[in-house]
A and B are shown apart, each in its own frame.
Chain A
Amino acid sequence: MRIKATLAGLGLCALSVMTAQAQTTQPLKIGFLAEMAGIYGAPGQDQYDAFMLAVEERGGKLGDVPVQIFKEDTQFKPDVASQIVDRLMDREKVELFTGLTYTHIALAVYKKINDKGGFMIASNTGPAPIAGQGCVPNFFASTWQNDQLSEVVGKYAAEKGYKNVFALAPNYQAGRDFVAGFKDAYGKPLLDEVYTPVAQQDFSAELSMIQAASPDAVYVFYPGALGVNFVKQYHQAGLSTIPLLNTATTESINLPAQGEAAMGAVNGSFWGPDFDNDTSKHFVEAFEAKYKRIPSQYAAQSYDAALLIDSALRKVKGDLSDKDAFRAALKEADFKSLRGDFKFGNNHFPIQDFHIFEAYKDGKGRMNVRRIATPMVQAQDKFAAQCPMK
């Protein structure tokens, strides 16, 4: 009798220990794929920092369930990204991914993750194939479709009535796409367009061409270090009197190095640190306090990705086994985005406003950006119609 009671007691103990373990040792696993180092590393670092800020603010939880983040460097190589996805999905049973800094990385892994039943929230890419015919149910973008970032600038140029616009970009697919997107929305032929070799850092010859052509405005897409060099050289050549319109060039990541040479340049984006809603104000304050720098749009879209995951996990109580329920929860996008109104279109890309931001010196003496116009209101990307999803 005593023995039986003891055994029963032990059994109960074991049971309670087991359930306790199940609660504490099984956090929800999230794969964070991004470029973490090198000249392509800056956006990835901002994405990661902002995502972790959201996780830390919630005590290591998203949607009230503990999460474990697998931070993986995809090294700008699609094959590396593909191996990481295999390892995380097969060995670690990861079913939720975010990050995906670059288009070619996203294109390399998105079908595989989707086909194996995983979900991804891309927080820095919006490739046309995924927005259009190649759309898949488990891919969500907390960002934009690539073309929209130059369309908004093209619209702005048309609204300002610039007659002669000179466009420059690096000579590769994204460079040509952004100029094409700009031209599309601008609607008039450009004065000239010049594509520079990808590794070219010195723009002396091209700047002289601009000077000789004396356009009303210049449009460029020079991301990262190229953008710092271009803007400094543009200023040195005495061209600052010609408005410099751009995509991904005079943005928070580059502004400290560009300094006053960037003054007055305008870029197109979906969000800026001067946004007046509560989420945005809280985010900017918390990010600056923790990381001592102004958050970029990369940080903003990754913070939104964390909020989206938070809202969807809460709806399904941290249970990913019912795929349809989790997908529906993501699609609802029931969270307060730092960009204001947020909803997903049929292709799981956001329908949102796009704005123009001007580089200026803020109250603390730092180079920063502020919104000066909103040429695109509740815009959906032009590829959504090609996506068969409802």
Chain B
Amino acid sequence: MSLFVAQILNSFQLGALLFLMSAGLTLVFGIMNFLNLAHGSLFMVGAYVGATVAAKTGSFTIAIIAAIVATMLLGVVAERTLLRQLYARDHLDQVLCTFGLLLIANEAVRYIWGPSPVFINVPAMLDGTVRIFGQNYPAYRFAIIVAGIVVVLGLYLLISRTRLGMLIRAGANNANMVSALGVNIKFLNTVVFALGAGLAGLGGLLIAPLVSVQPGMGEPILILTLVVIVVGGIGSIRGALYGALIVGLIDTAARVYMQIGLLQIFERSVGQAIGPAIASMLIYILMAIVLAFRPQGLFPVKHG
């Protein structure tokens, strides 16, 4: 029972992180029809900037602000100068260009911060455990869950209660019509891109105290993020939220229960050998099934 509770919390923690990444990616795709593979690089830059600022100032709060501001600025510059030219091109051009940016970003951080990983510590306040449902759980991981919930609520209010949110929803539905109605769609695009970049940067910073900050750290999370938005439905914030929770749950649960389950069927050494292999495949199997039977995703944007 306690293992079950802990795994649910773990899956929420991974889900929160995936949501921060996929919200931006899915909005950019939904509104600008633009596939940004360099989204993982923003995650990496957020982690590096946050880790550097945290080490210099000793303040995690300042590091959060620095990571968000730096990635938003980077996002705006990239969008204004380069990516905007690609909105009208087909997806292959976009993928090639942003893949190039991803490689450049990896080499750039290697040049600036060196090839060795950078480590930062969990803020002292969150270094320890909290008790949830009779279960000791790392306080910092719980804080990531809380941060995820705050962002979900914030985005919900922004999108459903504000004028900007209304424009974003309209843009996701029909960008040409929004433009024809006299809305400055270029400005809207930049705002959406900056918002997505900032969320990715926040995600990178939040994970930095748990893992090593190193060149290329954005790619594994980018791949999971692509799975999330395919499963959830491309362009849909709601899809990103549910997709992130589903992928978080399956990935976390599979790592634990796959092996336990296989040990019931096979002998020990076999179960231990194939358990990890199948567990890491499971979310891709899910994605393949969704693509085959429900290509619009499980929670697509509602039209009309």
CB neighbors of B among A231-275 (8 A): 232-233, 236-238, 257, 259
Contact B256 A238 (CB under 8 A): no
Tell me, yes or no, whether A86 is within 8 Å of chain B by CB. no
Question: With A236-B122, A236-B141 given, is the CB distance from A171 to B210 under 8 Å?
Answer: no
- Total contacting residues, chain A, CB less than 8 A: 32
- Total contacting residues, chain B, CB less than 8 A: 39
Closest Cβ neighbor of A197 among chain B residues:
B280
| Mask: chain B, 264-287; 1 = CB below 8 Å from A; 0 = not | 000000001100110010000000
Q: Which of A195, A196, A238 contacts B136 (CB 8 A)?
A: A238
Contact A228 B119 (CB under 8 A): yes
| Mask: chain B, 122-150; 1 = CB below 8 Å from A; 0 = not | 10000111000000111111000000000
Question: With A42-B116, A225-B117 given, is the CB distance from A208 to B3 under 8 Å?
Answer: yes
Question: With A194-B259, A205-B256, A232-B210 given, is the CB distance from A238 to B129 under 8 Å?
Answer: yes
Q: Is the interface of B mostly helix, strand, loop or mixed?
A: helix
Q: Which of A42, A205, A257 contacts B252 (CB 8 A)?
A: A205
Distance, CA A39 to CA B216, complexed state (A):
11
Tell me, yes or no, whether A199 is within 8 Å of chain B by CB. yes
Distance, CA A230 to CA B230, complexed state (A):
31
Contact B3 A204 (CB under 8 A): no
Contact A229 B212 (CB under 8 A): yes
Question: With A238-B129, A238-B138, A257-B119 given, is the CB distance from A233 to B210 under 8 Å?
Answer: yes
Question: With A202-B211, A209-B3, A236-B122 given, is the CB distance from A37 to B115 under 8 Å?
Answer: yes
| Mask: chain A, 267-296; 1 = CB below 8 Å from B; 0 = not | 000000000000000000000000000000
Q: Is the interface of A mostly helix, strand, loop or mixed?
A: helix
Contact B10 A204 (CB under 8 A): yes
CB neighbors of B among A197-227 (8 A): 197, 199, 201-202, 204-206, 208-209, 211-212, 225-226
Q: List 19 A-B contacts (CB under 8 A).
A: A38-B116, A39-B117, A41-B116, A199-B220, A201-B211, A202-B207, A204-B13, A205-B253, A205-B255, A208-B3, A208-B256, A209-B3, A225-B212, A226-B212, A232-B122, A236-B210, A238-B128, A238-B136, A257-B119
9 other A-B residue contacts (CB within 8 Å) besides A202-B211, A236-B140: A39-B117, A39-B214, A193-B272, A195-B272, A199-B220, A212-B2, A229-B210, A238-B136, A257-B119
Q: Which 7 A-B pairs have the closest CB atoms?
A: A212-B3, A208-B6, A201-B211, A238-B129, A225-B212, A257-B119, A204-B10
A residues bordering B, Cβ < 8 Å?
37-39, 41-42, 171, 193-197, 199, 201-202, 204-206, 208-209, 211-212, 225-226, 228-229, 232-233, 236-238, 257, 259
